[in-house]
Structure 1
């Protein structure tokens, strides 16, 4: 009977050894004085332990020293045994992930025994950690991509909203322009119609002074309509890119004098004081376009200075540029409106009650820009306005250097 029990025990011990050696994880048992009681094959293989270091009674220090020589010891030795103290404190099981010197990550689970010893399993989780790190990196990349796309969508939505608001503003400005233009055309047409009716109603011999007065009213109103039409058409061509600027020798003095004379015949209430002798006889420019510039500036100066008859036009030369100033002493412009004065359809608050469409100065700036010049404004509410046009005397372009006609 005793022999049978011994045989059974031996068979069970053998089966237990087989089971331990076939475990996928390393298993070891140490006494309270950190001497090896047993370890399985996976533990020995995990740390390349020779048979001499798997014998019962082998000190843990010897095993760790061997691992350190092979470069597979714990990377942070100071915290390597923290899990032992944690397990003892719990009176049960504790675990920690240990990074080895060769980069592997081992999950060590300690279970304290009543006599002070412990049982530990060592599981290589390197691949799991790498997969988790890769998954985390992918998640972070995905989150960053989603955040970037979200910002892009928000920016696109913001831009669409801005464009929509801009379109609404343009539509509103166009409606205002149509209303202003209609009013602007009605006023001179009513003057023409009234003057013509007075002439038709006149009986007998009509005094020449009377005819001259009505003819001047008609002519002035016709000029006003023509100027309006020219400004509107030129502005439209500018916006569509269909206007051409031809740089040719242009007699600027004669051009300004013609514009001043024409304005003085229309506006009897104002006097234009010229001081343009310093200007050169000719500059490179488009005569018709520059006529629109100075006709608009003179018309505005007269229109926005009721009760202040003197309009000053002066010219000077600064290096290879000319500078022309058109100054009035009229209503001026609010400081907040000055930066917007060259915008299409914009009219300053001080222009309330004064006819206008808001396209004149916008057109002027476009023409000056096409001549590679600069237009500036100096104005104060109630203290008049000065518009300063700076233009190059010669247009230095690649077309000119090649001996060709310059068309912009």
Structure 2
């Protein structure tokens, strides 16, 4: 049977084919090298030379192993193979230097390749002749064996033919499969290295079978150790329970996993992790780990979210501002409506008094007594003073709102200012009594006398309007370390507690002011002037009934501090 297999196999043809391939690849490598020396030596030329060199090594490696090596050694000796391998290694070193410097390759190395090609071309004939001689000797032996055991040979001849045919087909199929596998492997490696993602393949034991360059960059190996062929856990020194080990475990169990974007420990990058099982038919034989650098996308997404939140906050704030402005505008519009109605009434009343008195004086003329003329003139003067106060308070409020009022503080006698304001008020309302306790006031106070006079006059006027004789108006002065407190109290109608907070709003009038002349501006102006002096005006209920308004301004010592 051994003789039959030897006779029927195409082993000699295979050896001849591989020898011719070594000759062919050496010759192509020499031609590529000569093209390198003649051409521009581009990156494409580098890749072509590297490919031809790899092919030459692979063909020579086949002849240097197993039975092919024995056949070559038996017919040619071991020297041609060793010489050819040495020439290829020498050429590889020269090519490495030439690729860096883009220098021409030495002609001697190219000549060595051509000589090797000639040697293997001649060797193919010798091997073929020797193979034929061996085959002839085997056939003679076979004939002798046939003559000695013709019966046995006839029984197994059919089986021998069948086995030989199957063997030849198997060899051819294996050769084709190896070539296809080699092409697929090379193409797969090219795809993996061209990917922008880090890719690591592993088997069922978690042993790395492939690792591309991107993975080495994203997930560097401690100490630069080799990972391929080693357990990923050991190569990367991962502790038990590490997320990557858990993903590998679940992947070889059949799960495809995805870990969302997360920061790399001790780095400023964000990555996503994916794992997918690798199947051969229905069986899982390993898995693939992909790590994708998503730093730019993650930062852009975070920035977008931040901008969205800022925009939402801005829109919310602007909406609130607009709603507040609309509410203020609505309230102000209502106040202005009330103010216009109230001012129209307030202006109409004194004007009616002036008109009626003037008409009476025109109609009766000389018939009026001096006392009646004086009475009518007094009514006209009072009405004009009332109009003047209305116009003055309205103009002062407008100036304060526009920031156009003059503020000129200086040292002045506040006690004298208050006494003079009381005297003016008393002239206007001679039936009212004023009690003053101003002994605690300092000799000098830093303030704008014209503005403070307006505040005091307004508070005195309000106390008179909202109380009735013979109740007195009480003016007292008190001091503490930082403040001067001027209190003006009346025993009048008072102010409802639920309206006290609104009292200093422009145009506001309490419900207890019904039937009393006024614009609702005076207290607003008074507080504004007090705050110009870094002070304030507040309203307090009087214990025995009525109201107390307190003007508070800082002492000169406090301002200096």
CA contact (8 A) 1:308 1:329 kept: no
Which of 7, 13, 37 lines up with 2:177 in the alignment?
13
**Residue in structure 2 matched with residue 123 of structure 1 by the alignment:** 288
**Residue in structure 1 matched with residue 339 of structure 2 by the alignment:** 177
**Residue in structure 2 matched with residue 43 of structure 1 by the alignment:** 209
**Residue in structure 2 matched with residue 82 of structure 1 by the alignment:** 250
- How far the C-alpha of 1:239 sits from its partner, in A, is 1.6
- How far the C-alpha of 1:195 sits from its partner, in A, is 3.1
**Residue in structure 1 matched with residue 375 of structure 2 by the alignment:** 213
CA contact (8 A) 2:482 2:558 kept: no
SS in 1 for 2:313: helix
**Residue in structure 2 matched with residue 289 of structure 1 by the alignment:** 451
- How far the C-alpha of 1:151 sits from its partner, in A, is 2.6
CA contact (8 A) 1:275 1:315 kept: yes
CA contact (8 A) 2:201 2:210 kept: no
Cα deviation digits, residues 157-211 of structure 1 (max 9, x gap): 3212322332333233233222222221221222233333444455767555434
Structure 1: give runs of 5+ residues left out of the alignment.
Answer: 48-61, 88-93, 402-408
How far apart are the structure 2 equivalents of 1:29 and 1:260? 104
Question: How many residues end up aligned between the 2 structures?
Answer: 363
Which of 277, 283, 307 lines up with 1:145 in the alignment?
307
State yes or no: 1:161 paired with 2:323: yes
How far apart are the structure 2 equivalents of 1:29 and 1:337? 83
- How far the C-alpha of 1:240 sits from its partner, in A, is 1.5
CA contact (8 A) 1:27 1:119 kept: no
The equivalences for 1:220-235 within 5 A come to 220-235=382-397
Q: CA 1:178–1:243 in structure 2 vs 1: closer, same or farther (change >3 Å)?
A: same
Moved more, 318-327 or 287-296: 318-327
How far apart are the structure 1 equivalents of 2:444 and 2:452? 13
SS in 1 for 2:293: helix
How far apart are the structure 2 equivalents of 1:69 and 1:277? 94
CA contact (8 A) 1:107 1:124 kept: yes
**Residue in structure 1 matched with residue 496 of structure 2 by the alignment:** 334
How far apart are the structure 2 equivalents of 1:271 and 1:105? 91
**Residue in structure 1 matched with residue 106 of structure 2 by the alignment:** none
**Residue in structure 2 matched with residue 70 of structure 1 by the alignment:** 235
How far apart are the structure 1 equivalents of 2:272 and 2:229? 18
SS in 2 for 1:81: helix
How far apart are the structure 1 equivalents of 2:168 and 2:544? 125
Q: CA 1:120–1:306 in structure 2 vs 1: closer, same or farther (change >3 Å)?
A: farther
Which of 358, 375, 381 lines up with 2:537 in the alignment?
375
**Residue in structure 1 matched with residue 426 of structure 2 by the alignment:** 264
- How far the C-alpha of 1:319 sits from its partner, in A, is 4.3
Q: CA 1:374–1:104 in structure 2 vs 1: closer, same or farther (change >3 Å)?
A: closer
Q: CA 1:252–1:17 in structure 2 vs 1: closer, same or farther (change >3 Å)?
A: closer
How far apart are the structure 1 equivalents of 2:368 and 2:301? 96
Which of 499, 506, 519 lines up with 1:344 in the alignment?
506
Q: CA 1:77–1:167 in structure 2 vs 1: closer, same or farther (change >3 Å)?
A: closer
How far apart are the structure 2 equivalents of 1:104 and 1:258? 84
Q: TM-score, normalised by structure 1?
A: 0.74
Q: CA 1:247–1:217 in structure 2 vs 1: closer, same or farther (change >3 Å)?
A: same
**Residue in structure 2 matched with residue 242 of structure 1 by the alignment:** 404
CA contact (8 A) 1:312 1:328 kept: yes
Q: CA 1:381–1:159 in structure 2 vs 1: closer, same or farther (change >3 Å)?
A: farther
How far apart are the structure 2 equivalents of 1:246 and 1:306? 36
**Residue in structure 1 matched with residue 460 of structure 2 by the alignment:** 298
How far apart are the structure 2 equivalents of 1:313 and 1:226? 25
Cα deviation digits, residues 213-249 of structure 1 (max 9, x gap): 3333233222222222221222222221221122234
**Residue in structure 2 matched with residue 358 of structure 1 by the alignment:** 520
Q: TM-score, normalised by structure 2?
A: 0.55
Higher RCO (CA-CA < 8 Å; seq separation 6+):
1
- How far the C-alpha of 1:387 sits from its partner, in A, is 0.5
- How far the C-alpha of 1:64 sits from its partner, in A, is 4.7
How far apart are the structure 1 equivalents of 2:202 and 2:418? 106
Kindly indicate which of the two structures has a greater share of residues assigned to helix: 2
How far apart are the structure 2 equivalents of 1:10 and 1:112? 19
How far apart are the structure 1 equivalents of 2:376 and 2:519? 26
Cα deviation digits, residues 277-332 of structure 1 (max 9, x gap): 44345433333222211221111111112466422222234446432211111111
CA contact (8 A) 1:378 1:386 kept: yes
SS in 1 for 2:406: coil
SS in 1 for 2:456: helix
Moved more, 336-345 or 151-160: 151-160
How far apart are the structure 1 equivalents of 2:202 and 2:359? 122
Kindly indicate which of the two structures has a greater share of residues assigned to strand: 1
CA contact (8 A) 1:334 1:381 kept: no
